[in-house]
Every structure is written in C-alpha cells, then in structure tokens.
Chains A and B, each alone.
Chain A
Amino acid sequence: MNLRTTALLVASALLLSGCATLGAQYTAAGAAPPNRGTVYVYRPGAMAPAVSPTVSANGVPLVELPAHGYFVYYAAPGELELAEHTEAKTSVTLDVKAGETYYVKGTVGMGFFVGHPHLVLVDKDTGEKEIKDCKLVPATVPTAETVAAGPPPAIAAKK
C-alpha cells in the first residue's frame, strides 16, 4: 500500500467517523407513560460531526448524541440532571413534572483538543421548531427506573 492510498484511507476514515447512522425523521412521541415527563434531547447543526458525547441522566449514561440526532427520555418527576463530557463538562438540571414536555438542546462548540459540549433547556416553541430537522438516534434509551437505580458500579466508583 503506497503513501497516497494510506492517506486517502485515513482521510476517508476521519470523514466517515462523524457520520453516525440515524433513524427516522422527527415525529412527536406518543403520550408519556403515567407519572412521567417527556424530555426531548436534540442536537441541531453540523458543528463537530466527529464528536458524539454520551448524554447521562443523574449520572447514568443514556445514549450518544450525534449531530442532527435526537432521542426521547421519559423522566420521573423531580430534579433531572442531564450531562455530557468531552474535555469539558456541561450539565443542565430540569424540574420535571408529570405530563409536561421539555426540550433540551445540545451543541458542540470549540475546545482546545476536542469540542466542548453544551446542553441548555429551551422553550417549547424553539424546541419544536429546531427538532424537526433531527433524526431519531437508533438506540434503546434506559428507563427512569434504570436511572433511579443509579449509575453502574464502574461509573459510581469514578465519582
């Protein structure tokens, strides 16, 4: 394999590493289970496509959030801390009420080595408008019961 081929392969790998496979275009989720709030976490825009931070809820990893992706989490009422880590940490806390819907927007800004993630709670109008361009992240999102049980021992030990 000559140098040119190697360079092309490396460049292709770098380009494709940011192209996560996403599912269906956004559609509003059905009614939340009883005594649960609906939390949409989405990431519009194509900034830093190679960075897909894992979103965690109260310390329990949920799913990776790539550019243009979204997922739905049905949260138990009370405080819910959603966080992401790269070389920097971001977290936002919601006061979840049963039957309510929340939109949390994720972005990735410039960092020193890796992009810095940001999560922010946005109002319903903004959320509904921006999430339309996103596609479902094809992953199983842990339930509120799993989150309530706490982080796995390996993660808990790090804290």
Chain B
Amino acid sequence: MSSCADPDLNLKLGGKGGAVNLTRLSCGALRLLPLAVLAGCATDVTVTPQLAEKNIPPCQIHGLVRYQGKPEYLPSALVPDQAPPSQIAFEYSHAVQYGLKETDPLVTFVNPLTLFGFPTGADNLIVTGRVDLVRGDATIRSYAAAAAMKHSGNVFSEGETFTDMRRRGLLLVRDNLTSQLCKDQSVIETLLADRPTTAKGSQ
C-alpha cells in the first residue's frame, strides 16, 4: 500500500527543462480536496453597525423592559425592573428573514465539480434587532443592529442549519446592541432620570 509520504513512488515526467512529479501533484490535490469540501461549510457573517470602539466595558441599565422572546437574546445591558422610577420603557424586538437559493438540480447533476465540493446552493439569513426607548406612545431613542449570514452547502455537507445561524445571528445582534447601549449609558441614564438633555436619537 502506498501513501503520499512514500518517496519510492515518485514518478517523474518531463524533458531536460525539468521534471513533473506526478505523485506529489496528486498527493497535493488529495490534500487540498478536504479544504475544497469544507470551503462550502464556512458561514460569512457581517454585523452592522460596526462599532469604532471595540472594547466597550459591560454595563447594566435598569428599567422597564418589554420583550416576549427568550431571555438569552435580550441585550445583557438591559436589566428588567418591575417598578422603575422612570416612565421610560425599553422595547426590544427582533426579526429573522430566511432565504434559500438552490442550484438547478440538473446543473448540479451534470457538473463534474459537484463531486469536488462545488456548492449546490446557498442559505441566507438576516437577523435584525431593535431597542426603542418609549415614553407613553412616543419613541424617544432607538438602537438597531443587523447580522447578515450566508453559507453554501455541497453534496458532502450542508454546514450550519438555519436554526444554528439564527441563534448565532441573534447572539451577535444582542452583543452589538449591548455595546451600543453601554456606549450611550450616560445619555440613557440622563433620559431615565428625566433630566433635560440635548441628546438626539441614534441609528
């Protein structure tokens, strides 16, 4: 049995100008095959807005929080307080939009590269999250974030499922909103204290 590391199996072709080592070429191709297969599994992720400040210290902002989803997706900066002194409430909502683009089955079937991991389709997902500071019926300030994700599947693997992508996207949006809220903590606390402020809504 031979292996790619076996030097005795090297076959050389070529003229005076040089030699082509066929065994090394095929071994190199074999080593690259898993990379080609796995290349379809990686997920591209883009989170907006991109924050200039990377290391914003964590914070806690206490207030009335209106949110009906899973607690783990709530920005950690928001700490629900059942009887807050302020009349301002934080309303958090998120939405997920799915997109599936499949290559025509006939094209996939006749494409010889399919067996080398050529993508057979792409999953797209956009997660958006929004925190509104609401006084009565009026929204006085808003923060928003979005995560766009895309990955390709092939005949060997489909990679991340929509469920996995959704969860990851919601956590990225949560963390982005947490950073935005903490960056603006002093402004928000001024609003919560009902003190006059010149702050205007962002995002």
A interface residue numbers (CB < 8 A to B):
47, 79, 81, 83, 88-93, 95, 105, 107, 109-112, 116, 118-122
Closest 9 pairs (CB-CB, A-B): A120-B100, A91-B163, A92-B162, A91-B161, A88-B158, A93-B163, A110-B108, A112-B155, A121-B98
How many whole Å from A104's CB to the nearest CB in chain B? 10
Q: Are B105 and A110 in contact (CB under 8 A)?
A: yes
Q: Are B166 and A93 in contact (CB under 8 A)?
A: yes
| Chain A binding surface, main DSSP class | strand
| Smallest CB gap from B158: residue in A | A88
Q: Are B108 and A89 in contact (CB under 8 A)?
A: no
Q: 15 A-B residue contacts at CB 8 Å?
A: A81-B163, A89-B158, A89-B161, A90-B161, A91-B161, A91-B164, A107-B102, A109-B120, A109-B121, A112-B156, A116-B153, A118-B100, A118-B102, A118-B158, A121-B98
B interface residue numbers (CB < 8 A to A):
69-70, 96, 98-100, 102-103, 105, 108-109, 114, 120-121, 123, 153, 155-158, 161-164, 166-167
Give the contacting residue for A95; candidates B69, B123, B157, B164; CB below 8 A.
B69
| Chain B binding surface, main DSSP class | mixed
| Smallest CB gap from A104: residue in B | B98
Query: A109 and B108 in contact (CB under 8 A), knowing A90-B161, A116-B120, A121-B98?
Result: yes
A118 to B155, CA, bound (A): 13
Q: Are A110 and B155 in contact (CB under 8 A)?
A: yes
